[in-house]
Structure 1
Amino acid sequence: MLRQLFILAVLATFTAACTNHSPHHSTEHKEKTKRSDVLSGQEIHLVAKEAQLQINDNITVPVYTYNGSVPGAQIRVKQGERVKIVFKNELPEPTAIHWHGYPVPINQDGVPGVTMDAVKPGETFTYEFTATIPGTYWYHSHQKSAEQVDKGLYGTLIVEPKKEEKVDRDYTLVLDEWMSQPETSSTNGHAQHTNMHHGGNGMMHDMSMYDIFTINGKSGTAIEPLKVKKEEKVRLRLINAGYMSHKLHLHGHEFQIVATDGQPINSPQPIKDELLNIAPGERYDIEFIANNPGEWLLECHGNMKGTDGMKVKIQYEGQTSHTDKASAKETLPVVDITTYGKQKPARFTLDQTYDVEYTMNLGTAMGKNGVVFTINGKTYPDTATVNVKKGDLVKVKFVNHSPMDVHPMHLHGHFFQVLSKNGKPITGSPLIKDTLNINPGEEYVVAFQADNSGNWMFHCHDLHHASAGMVTEVKYTDYKSDYTPDPNDTTNKGE
């Protein structure tokens, strides 16, 4: 019965990405978004509520927010601290929070109908977990997430290590995409940001409708410049909360990739004029020394209409302005993170013995109602689960057979180590991730230990692909949930 409820919960919300949602509520009473706060302390308060987001001089959209901003308030805590988040829902519909990439206990994972009941309008829920692993993470709605994340319901979670190398500036930059001409009619001439970017189940998604790219909820000249001083060490935490991959170019400076998905890179070497590709759900931390005074750009490269808006100025304080003339159309190499950094002994290897081995052939097929996305030829809930017991060592092979589609595969509750790419062992730093971007024709082998009991989702973080079938579970056979979903509660819609 529990598995049936799990299946219904997952499908209900993934399918929400494929259907028209209800009309927006009146926006006249909604407040304007404010700048994102930084929250810390023994008890943190988050409120989900509606607001208006001014993306640039011409575009304002109705949004869902945490504490009135997009991105939502940044939660910033120290490693080892007990995190207590008192969450109140002031939205007109149920919602919940998932801590993306963070290995919380299963009952804090925030999947309605699977780990908890959805938080209804006017209600509160308290999340608690210990911040054991430092790094850059994010949080977002896990209730009808194809709609609610698309409306701006996400924020950032930074866990500072006990002994952190000193940096002079620490900026968090969240990437996203919006529509200025969605299929839904506009209100008072303002664009509306809807869940229709993906379609699915007979409606092929048209990503060209996403013509506004944003950094921290702003686009183009509306993005606040990053201030630096000469010789400062600057850290940029880059998080992709959208549904497209973005290739970013840091102009005028060498930089190092110091972490991916919050996990450190061993001996990162300086690189310059190479593009950093960030897939949906991924995070990259980069650092550079501000040793080239002037005004420079961190910008997105590509041919999409919104590309030109995803750029932020880096301004040296008290320095004569230098105008950056480089073009976002120039051809530059893309960093291969599997060859970056230096090797060192790691937890897993290709030739050790594993308790569980699972091959995940990622494919595209025609279903009864249109294109579906498959794992081993099946769509969820018919995909075979990854069955484990606590303590098992697990090896998973991904093979992307889709001719055109990229699949950023995300595992809840665990990190995995990337062992090989296209049949060859990786040659760079040990690579620990929770979201792995797999291009057409690519093959990866990853490994993890089943060290966090529960039943965890393992799915493509392009929610169009998930809604059309690309979902499975890591199921602990020796685990029994203490949460029983209410079969009569239709508000629990899971992912």
Structure 2
Amino acid sequence: MKLKIAGFLLLFLFILGACSSAESTDSEQTESSRKETAKTEVLTGNTFDLVAEEAAHSLNSEVDVEAWTFNNSVPGPELRVKEGEEIKINLKNKLPDPVTIHWHGVPLENNMDGIPGVTQNAVQPGDSYTYNFTASVPGTYMYHTHQDGVNQVDKGLYGSLIVEPDEVSYDQDYVMMLDEWMSNPVTMDMANMDHENMSGMGDSEESAEEKSMADDMSNYDIFTINGKSGDEVETLTVKEGEKVRLRLANIGFMSHQIHLHGHDFKVVAIDGQEIKNPDDIKDQLLSIAPGERYDIEFTADNPGEWYLECHGEMEGTKGMKARIQYENQENESTDKPNDTIDLPKFDFMTYGEDKKAAFTLDQIYDVEYTMNLNTEAKNNATVYTINRKTYPDTDNIQVEKGDLVKVKLVNKSDSEDHPMHLHGHFFQVLSKNGKPAEGAPILKDTINVKPGDEYIVAFKADNPGNWLFHCHDLHHASAGMVSLVSYKDYIVDFSPDPDVNNKPE
């Protein structure tokens, strides 16, 4: 009997050991076969395939994160198309959650805007979706998921779209996407909450704690350029005499103060829109808010090694810098990073050559609307409101095609910026804090309204649809700061599916 028991014990231990060995082998295989991101590709033409998929991504020499990617890179492919081209993008979703693609800043038909529950249903895991539109306006644009964006954009699900004009005036052209990451990520499900009373945020101490962690920007401790930080950021190589264009696009959730060392430069476009006769400036900080794009140009006339860097005091600041290296340089630059030097900030309200503008402050408008932006406490939670309401209960801006629309944006929050982004249109900035714009007319799709500030902007309602007008700090959008520009009599050509988990932010 004892021998039988001993035999059974030996057999049990053998099986247990075999199972442990198999589990170990499976774990090793999973670890060794884990997909890692590749270098971002530049794709040209008019038809593109974008695959949303997971991969391990290295931010710097010390920190890897589990990223969500387009085509296995962060950022996703840089798409370069020609002005006027009809383009087609085929999206395949290999992620565990639904996704969409929003073409940030691009004027296109409403049904191609990529907003779940508003212009389409979210693309489910394993499914595909095709976007078709005309690249009608040249400029620097971005694409990113608009499904649960506060989490999915945070994971890396974005890229750049460059619409090139018929003729270019530069020799080198670099896209630089600015972002920030958490070395210890906090995942939020704010977009799944009931924004009527925000009860989902007050149901437990855990949810309130998670929200506080996500809203604390100090958790973002790694700043990146094109998905890399510090010494991992790719060097920008130039030749003496070349005209160099840098396209600075902020896909993150906070503003970044960018300084170009050693060269005069011009701000030639903001949010993709060219500026009339831009002036030469030097040693000014470009404050680039979430959703904004600044194109600058400089002549490579100062051989050596220089820096483009972020200024500030946050932990991640020092990682957001890139070297500018001259080819075949004979002299060595003594330039060193200096992210704390006090420099003046660039002011687009007084920049460029004054010329006749499409809109003025004193003309007659068909629609006038005021957006009071605020931070409020409701049901033991912080919400972000437009005129004291949270999405989807915010009041839409109702327009008819052809209307001239004037909007006043007022930030009543004590300490938080609100970079407000309008889909499907460009607006002209008319005034700031009661002072009219003095330089060239500035056309934008995103404007950063700081606490206490007031901007007046105007646009023509010339693109029928239902268009989001929201804060591009997606923590704020997910907690309510979203409204719509809604065209009367516009007929939506899809049926929202209640079972697909549409999360428009």
- TM-score greater than 0.5 by the shorter chain: yes
Going from structure 1 to structure 2, the CA distance change for 1:380 and 1:174 (only over 3 Å counts) comes to same
Match of 1:186 in 2: none
Match of 1:385 in 2: 396
CA distance in 1, matches of 2:226, 2:131: 25
What SS does structure 1 have at the residue aligned with 2:492?
A: coil
Shift of 1:490: 3.1
Shift of 1:27: 6.8
Structure that is richer in helix per residue: 2
Does residue 33 (structure 1) correspond to residue 44 (structure 2)? The answer is no
Out of 243, 248, 251, the residue aligned to residue 258 of structure 2 is 248
Out of 450, 456, 463, the residue aligned to residue 439 of structure 1 is 450
Out of 249, 257, 268, the residue aligned to residue 258 of structure 1 is 268
Match of 1:189 in 2: none
What SS does structure 2 have at the residue aligned with 1:397?
A: strand
CA-to-aligned-CA distance 1:92-120 (integer Å, 9 cap, x gap): 22111000111111110111222112212
Shift of 1:494: 2.3
Does residue 84 (structure 1) correspond to residue 115 (structure 2)? The answer is no
CA-to-aligned-CA distance 1:410-465 (integer Å, 9 cap, x gap): 01111111011110110111100000011111111000111111111111111111
Shift of 1:336: 0.9
Shift of 1:213: 0.4
CA distance in 2, matches of 1:161, 1:465: 35
Shift of 1:254: 0.5
Match of 1:236 in 2: 246
What SS does structure 2 have at the residue aligned with 1:147?
A: helix
Out of 334, 343, 346, the residue aligned to residue 335 of structure 1 is 346
Match of 2:376 in 1: 365
Going from structure 1 to structure 2, the CA distance change for 1:329 and 1:65 (only over 3 Å counts) comes to same
CA distance in 1, matches of 2:388, 2:97: 35
Shift of 1:28: 5.9
Alignment of 1:40-55 (within 5 A): 40-55=44-59
Shift of 1:52: 1.1
Deviates more, 1:464-473 or 1:168-177: 464-473
RMSD value, Cα = 1.7
TM-score normalized with structure 2 length: 0.88
Q: Is residue 390–residue 478 contact of structure 1 (8 Å, CA) maintained in 2? A: no
Give the total of aligned pairs: 458
CA distance in 1, matches of 2:339, 2:253: 21
CA distance in 1, matches of 2:46, 2:320: 35
Match of 2:99 in 1: 95
CA distance in 2, matches of 1:381, 1:34: 39
CA distance in 2, matches of 1:382, 1:435: 22
What SS does structure 2 have at the residue aligned with 1:107?
A: helix
Structure whose CA Rg is larger = 2
Match of 1:221 in 2: 231
Match of 1:181 in 2: 184
Out of 426, 432, 440, the residue aligned to residue 429 of structure 1 is 440
Does residue 297 (structure 1) correspond to residue 300 (structure 2)? The answer is no
CA-to-aligned-CA distance 1:67-108 (integer Å, 9 cap, x gap): 111000011100011011111111122111000111111110
What SS does structure 2 have at the residue aligned with 1:31?
A: coil
**Aligned residue type for 1:383:** T
What SS does structure 2 have at the residue aligned with 1:346?
A: coil
Q: Is residue 190–residue 479 contact of structure 2 (8 Å, CA) maintained in 1? A: no
Going from structure 1 to structure 2, the CA distance change for 1:61 and 1:294 (only over 3 Å counts) comes to same
Does residue 70 (structure 1) correspond to residue 74 (structure 2)? The answer is yes
Match of 1:21 in 2: none
Match of 1:492 in 2: 502
**Aligned residue type for 1:444:** Y
Does residue 109 (structure 1) correspond to residue 113 (structure 2)? The answer is yes
Match of 1:355 in 2: 366
**Aligned residue type for 1:328:** D
Percent identity for Structure 1 against Structure 2: 60
CA distance in 2, matches of 1:78, 1:195: 38
Going from structure 1 to structure 2, the CA distance change for 1:197 and 1:225 (only over 3 Å counts) comes to farther
Shift of 1:195: 4.6
CA distance in 2, matches of 1:491, 1:316: 50
Q: Is residue 309–residue 337 contact of structure 2 (8 Å, CA) maintained in 1? A: no
Q: Is residue 190–residue 478 contact of structure 2 (8 Å, CA) maintained in 1? A: no
Q: Is residue 259–residue 286 contact of structure 2 (8 Å, CA) maintained in 1? A: yes
TM-score normalized with structure 1 length: 0.90
CA distance in 2, matches of 1:282, 1:327: 24
CA distance in 2, matches of 1:226, 1:39: 19
Out of 172, 175, 180, the residue aligned to residue 175 of structure 2 is 172
CA-to-aligned-CA distance 1:354-406 (integer Å, 9 cap, x gap): 10000111112211132222212222223211000111110000111111110
CA distance in 1, matches of 2:38, 2:337: 32
Match of 2:152 in 1: 148
CA-to-aligned-CA distance 1:305-349 (integer Å, 9 cap, x gap): 000000000001111332313521110011011111111111111
CA-to-aligned-CA distance 1:39-70 (integer Å, 9 cap, x gap): 12232111111111111111111101111110
**Aligned residue type for 1:245:** S
**Aligned residue type for 2:453:** E
What SS does structure 1 have at the residue aligned with 2:103?
A: strand
5+ residue gaps, structure 1, are 1-25, 184-193
Deviates more, 1:320-329 or 1:156-165: 320-329
CA distance in 1, matches of 2:327, 2:443: 36
CA distance in 2, matches of 1:349, 1:57: 52
Shift of 1:178: 0.8
CA-to-aligned-CA distance 1:192-222 (integer Å, 9 cap, x gap): xx45999994432211111100000100001
Out of 110, 129, 139, the residue aligned to residue 143 of structure 2 is 139
Going from structure 1 to structure 2, the CA distance change for 1:30 and 1:414 (only over 3 Å counts) comes to farther
Match of 1:309 in 2: 319
Deviates more, 1:413-422 or 1:370-379: 370-379
CA distance in 1, matches of 2:321, 2:31: 29
Going from structure 1 to structure 2, the CA distance change for 1:195 and 1:74 (only over 3 Å counts) comes to farther
Q: Is residue 110–residue 466 contact of structure 2 (8 Å, CA) maintained in 1? A: yes
Does residue 273 (structure 1) correspond to residue 283 (structure 2)? The answer is yes
Q: Which has the higher contact order (CA 8 A, sep 6+)?
A: 1
**Aligned residue type for 2:269:** A
Match of 2:355 in 1: 344
